[in-house]
Structure 1
Amino acid sequence: MQLNAGCKLSFEALSPTPLVLMLRPRSGAGQWIIREEYQITPAVIVTEFTDMYGNLCQRVVAPVGPFSIFFSATVQTADLIDVAPGAPYTPVEELPDDVLHYTLPSRYCQSDQLGDLATQITKDTEPGYDQVEAIRKWIHENITYQYGTSDASTSAIDTADKRIGVCRDFTHLGISLCRALNIPARMVVGYLYQLDPMDLHAWFEAYVDGRWFTFDATQEQPRGNRITVAYGRDAADVAFTTQFGPMNLNDMQVWVDSAQNDVEESEKKAEEAPTLSTSAGSTNQINH
């Protein structure tokens, strides 16, 4: 499916404030960027770099006063995500070098403290994909999704204890429980079509049978039509905005809509357009 997705962020900078933005998705597995638009008001100098995880990042300095960022894109997405019940565990000694660090504890994912819970959840489960699915299902059934119950300091340990949170917290817990079993897991942020309530979203991927698979503990069933913006060890690596100074976020809008109507309208216009032989200038075009 083709999706139109984007966000608008409105800030108030109290002093000139450096920012690192992470809002641009890139074409890759399961998605193709057809069109994108990026507007920053007021206009400032922007430089872009690719971080160690392959994410596109933009550096700006916001001047004092109102500062807004608008991003939108049309993206061809996969309608389904791959599932592989029974896919085997990949032994640590066989992991690629660039995957190995996803087995380690990180700031919000204290996997070294969650081994007992991970073992309890996955007992009598075959190592590999089935363990990760057992973890995803357990989180979905045992952690309550509720806004306003966590903040930027909430970790996987907190969520395991309080049994409440939002997508970021579900994701951190899933990652931690996988890593406790020596299964590499990473955080993914982006957009999900028909997410309710609509917002920027987070889920996780686990590495089994020599590849990454998608898992989303906030959803009852596997769902496609996702737009990935960034990958990382946890939320510290994938913040959409990182500010280095006093700055207030006043408003945030997020949207994900089907682009099918736009496609149908374009096709209709193409059908109604004059043919080459009757178009103005067509004779010269044909001759030359």
Structure 2
Amino acid sequence: MSKIALITDTTSNLSKEKIEKYNVKILPFRIIYKDREYRDQIDISPEEVYDNLEKEIPTSSMPSMEDMESLYNSLEEQGYTHAIAVVLSTGLSGIYNGLKVVSENHSKIKTFIFDSKSIAIGEGVIIEECAKLIQQGESFEEIVSRIPSIRERINLFFVVGTLEYLKRGGRIGKVSGTIGELLNIKPIVSVDIKDGKYYTYDKVRGRKQSLNRIVEICNGIADKKKCRLYAMHGNSLEDSKKVFKDIANHPNVTEAEFIGCISPVAGVHSGPGLVGVVLFEEE
């Protein structure tokens, strides 16, 4: 009888309750300061990252190969026969390739690694849907075959306080930068499903208009499809709560979950002021 493990990383923003409910295995990214290295969401909180940004902007790295190796050894000891891993977009990280190398050294476990082409709860939703399919008794092959269609139903949008942190971390992708910032142009950012990099979905002038525009975009999607709503923020609680409320009131929003703050490592690259939403289209 098959036993399927679910693997993701700390950027997926799954709550502790869901991690425990679905027994999800989490690989922590690393946050690196001059004098110390932290494991994302284990040794450091988002608040600590934001509080220290004026003193030092840390760098980051993907989960260590040692952590991946240790995880697979543990899975073998626990009798897992299969593993499904959903990881941060390859357009933003090298975790996909690292995990692929490690998984190939553990032939006892048949592994499928999926490039989410997303971040935060856009990644986490895929894991959650896989968990539900496991609970329903679906086979490894059936679940794997359905993951691409799950990904296609995810709509992710966010705005940031400034593009400076995305630029510093090399995560700017196809988002237009400096000149627009001088004119107070605020891009609505999404992730390109083809290459997994950030791009400008739309742009408006001013912070208030950018938040209003996210609400308009999401309500437009909800006009056509029943959706589940997720909202998150990066040191921007009040703005994100307002956006969440304005979208959650739509009659086609079937469930609404306020995730709270994004992972510390995501905060390093986005900086303070992020407001993000995910709409997951129901089948």
> TM-score with structure 2 length normalisation?
0.25
Q: Which has the higher strand share?
A: 1
Q: Which has the higher helix share?
A: 2
> TM-score with structure 1 length normalisation?
0.25
Of structures 1 and 2, the one with the larger relative CO (CA 8 A, separation 6+) is 1
Higher gyration radius (CA): 1
